[in-house]
Structure 1
Amino acid sequence: MRHAAIAFGRELERRMPGEVTTKWWKEERGERIFVDYNQNARDRTIASAYSIRPKPGAPVSAPVAWDELPEITPEDFTVATMPARYEEVGDKHAAIDDVQHSLQPLLDLYARDEEGDMPYLPDYPKMPGEPKRVQPSRDTDRKR
């Protein structure tokens, strides 16, 4: 799954170079959207639809439609507001299992990609072929 996420992110980078990135280090991302492929590393958990986040205001992870994006903010979805939204728009997540897709095209993209693997999370053992895990500005071995 992680390799599929890397391939997906890299393809988005190619198609939208100024908008999307897979750069692991924040200093290299700028204002671009980061595709976090490491959310698919082993032992990681993700927030599911309608899960409550442990933050002030009790925000809720809410599925939305593409056409809603210009008019909403994450702060719109809280424990207090979600029941009314659910009543109004229904379960936008209900049909998630109605269509299945194969990861094989993404895995094929990953296999053809000459860039190789991406950095893992710091608490994982170093993997063969993995790039350095040092922030570029702190890399004392890099050529200047």
Structure 2
Amino acid sequence: MARREVWKLAGQTVEVKNLDKVFWPAQGYTKGDLLRYYREVAPVLLPYLRGRPLTLVMCPDGIAAGCYYRRKRPDYAPDWLPYVLYNPKTRTGRVPLVLVENEAHLIWLANQAAVEFHVWSSTARDLAHPTWLVLDLDPGNATGFETVLEAARFVRKELEELGLAGWPKTSGGRGLHLLVPLEPGRYTHAQARAWAKAFAARLAQRSGGLVRLPRGATHRGEGVHVDYAQNGYGRNTAAPYSLRAKPGAPVSTPLGWDEVETGGFEPADFDLKAVPERIRRQGDPLASMREAAFRLPEL
């Protein structure tokens, strides 16, 4: 019989099951490992999920058997799983988007085989106005990670010239995300995207070929592309501390700028097993971002 347990979380009873099912075959990591990871990192993960619409990456039989994106709240979800109604341009009716406010919501979704949690840059209270801007540093397939770190250092200096600051995290793939917190309610998604595009063009012009604007398939060739398209209404980004449905069970992991400056690591170093210990050792490098907010200068 498939192993199952009952967990008491945030005043709710959540049955977790199929704990021995293998989700990452190469490492032998199981659904139980997935659930225990999210339970352990919940204190640092939840501040980035609360109140934000989610897109989930579901892998019912593990990452090797195929995964799919899910936005709509499952019809069979318990009454206590919250949502916000969203009217996408591609549909005539409103869609209930999943929200996560506490540990019970997080673990219930993970038990449904949600491996990845992607968040909007705006909140359910104000879907129209983002509270951060995303700069996605996406390397070409001929570019090593040390070059990505070099690009991040350059972007940091350019932001500082403009009186801004960015907080870095690994994407969970080969790139980095820089998050720039914005004054709530000040910018539309279109304004944030337009600024990010103009800033990316400035970076490409001033970096001597290190940073490039995305053209076609951004994963090809050399250089580091600044993908500004993750800014926009309905767009989403892997949440800080989200697992990724990739070999090795990597985690989208916040970094300190001291780590970006010194380098000597690879994104794959931050995985399902390593990240909880890292959090116990050094806390959350992204925490200070939640106290910051910027106005975007003219470019």
Per the shorter chain, which TM-score range? 0.5 to 0.7
CA distance in 2, matches of 1:77, 1:67: 16
**Bigger mean CA deviation after superposition, 1-10 or 17-26:** 17-26
Are the equivalent residues in 2 in contact too, given 1:21–1:29 (CA < 8 A)? no
* Displacement of 1:99: 1.9
CA distance in 1, matches of 2:247, 2:220: 27
Name the structure where helix makes up a greater proportion of residues.
1
Q: Paired residue for 2:60?
A: none
CA distance in 1, matches of 2:269, 2:255: 11
Question: What is the alpha-carbon root mean square deviation over aligned residues?
Answer: 1.9
Match of 1:97, SS state, is helix
Which segments of 5 or more consecutive residues in structure 1 lack a partner in the other structure? Answer: 110-144
Name the structure where strand makes up a greater proportion of residues.
2
Q: Paired residue for 1:61?
A: 252
Query: Which string of whole-angstrom CA distances, capped at 9 and with x for unpartnered residues, describes residues 78-136 of structure 1?
Result: 11110111111111111112221112x1xx32xxxxxxxxxxxxxxxxxxxxxxxxxxx
Partner amino acid for 2:240?
A
Are the equivalent residues in 1 in contact too, given 2:218–2:225 (CA < 8 A)? no
Q: Paired residue for 1:16?
A: 207
Q: Paired residue for 1:137?
A: none
Which segments of 5 or more consecutive residues in structure 2 lack a partner in the other structure? Answer: 1-191
CA distance in 2, matches of 1:74, 1:24: 24
Q: 1:3 to 1:89 in 2, by over 3 A?
A: same
CA distance in 1, matches of 2:236, 2:205: 28
Q: Paired residue for 1:86?
A: 279
Q: Paired residue for 1:44?
A: 235
Match of 1:42, SS state, is coil
TM-score (norm 1): 0.66
CA distance in 1, matches of 2:232, 2:226: 13
Aligned residues with identical type, % of pairs: 41
Greater relative contact order (Cα 8 A, min sep 6): structure 1 or 2? 1
Are the equivalent residues in 1 in contact too, given 2:251–2:272 (CA < 8 A)? yes
Partner amino acid for 2:246?
K
* Displacement of 1:28: 10
Runs of 4+ more than 2 Å apart: 26-30
Q: Paired residue for 1:25?
A: 216
